[in-house]
Amino acid sequence: SIPYGKTVSYRKLASLAGYRKAWRAAGSALKKNPVILIVPCHRVIRSDGNPGEFGGGKKVKKFLLSLEKVSPPDTRFKNYFKNGAR
């Protein structure tokens, strides 16, 4: 479980699941998630700090992350929201 207000990269998620090199498979599985608020896949982001894709659409993902006042993994992600990309 990824705590409210926190994020994890697709790569880290795959590694935690025991499949270190399966970050694309992790992303594909999350994109098909039919219950986006119960399984908070919006908290999984790209390794470079960008939000990445989302089954509910990028705008919804950015909105959900901004609602949670996400603690960014790096400065680029913090600036992403600071510059009005919500």
pLDDT of residue 15: 92
User: How confident is the prediction for the chain on average, in pLDDT?
Assistant: 81
- Domain 8-80 = CATH 1.10.10.10: yes
CA-CA distance, 83 to 67, in Å (whole number)? 16
Q: Catalytic residues, which ones?
A: 41
Sign of CA dihedral 65, 68, 69, 70: negative
* Domain spans, the chain: 8-80
- pTM of the full structure: 0.76
Positive or negative: CA dihedral 50, 53, 54, 56? positive
Count of C-beta atoms within a 10 Å radius of residue 59: 11
Evaluate if residue 8 carries a pLDDT over 60. yes
Asked if 64 contacts 41 with a C-beta cutoff of 8 angstroms, the reply is: no
| pLDDT of the residue at 85 | 45
